[in-house]
Every structure is written in C-alpha cells, then in structure tokens.
Structure 1
Amino acid sequence: MSGDREAAVLSLDRLVVVEDYVRADRTPLQPDVILSFHNLCLVRDEGDWFIGHLGDDGSVICWASYGSGLEEAIRGL
C-alpha cells in the first residue's frame, strides 16, 4: 500500500509507548502489528494505528493516533 520497498513487519518483542509531551508521560501499548518505514513506524493497538519512530534501542515511541484505517495511516506518513 505504501509503495515503500523497504517497509517491513517488525517483531513485537520490544517496548512500544505513546508519549504525551504535555504531561511528560508515556503509556505502554500492546501492539499486534508493527510496520517499519525506514525510521518511522505504524503500530496497531486495539484496532487503532499509531505513528511513531524507532529508537536506537529498538523501542517504538509513538506520538499520535490515525484511527483504525491502515490506508489513512500510511497516507499520514
């Protein structure tokens, strides 16, 4: 869907959080899918897609949700 030839499915054995900059807080996610597009990631948790980046340690830090549509989330990249 993305047209990115280097897009990949990542393993789920990593820390994935949503960061709230206003409250300086992180909420852990329990994703069932993690898609990597270079250093950006889409993470699906409870049916919603979150955008984030891949940290140096392999964790994923998300900052926004794009809702339940994968195609819409990919367009937001």
Structure 2
Amino acid sequence: MNRCLLLSSFIRAELGVDVPPTHITGENSATLRTITDMVLDLPSRSASPRSAAPPGPPPSGGTSTPWDSAG
C-alpha cells in the first residue's frame, strides 16, 4: 500500500482530520514539518463549536487524578 495513503488513514483515525486526495502530494509529505503544516491547515472533524470544551477550569466531579493531590 502507498505510504501516503497509510499516513492519511492514520491522520484520519488518530487525529480526526480528513486529508483530501488533492493534499496527498510529495510536497505535503516531504518532511515532518510539511505534514504538520498540512494537518494544521485542514479542518478537524472535532473542531466544531458544539464539541469544543468551554473555556475555564475543568468541571469538578467525583473522580480524582494522581496530580490532584500533588503539591
């Protein structure tokens, strides 16, 4: 299988970013920097305002984390 297709599948599955076929080019996949720039320029499936977390501290709940008691 083509490495670019494997990379675009990974980006879609792990980062939630669909890479259109027009972006699967040698220039966009030349270096880690160009791949990063391409991914950051594409809209994420989870970037909609409805799914974004509100600003501010995380909500308090009944669960604690190891770093809650550190300090």
- The structure where strand makes up a greater share of residues is 1
Scaled to the shorter chain, the TM-score interval is: under 0.3
Q: Over alpha carbons, which structure has the higher Rg?
A: 2
- The structure where helix makes up a greater share of residues is 2
Give the structure-2-normalised TM-score.
0.25
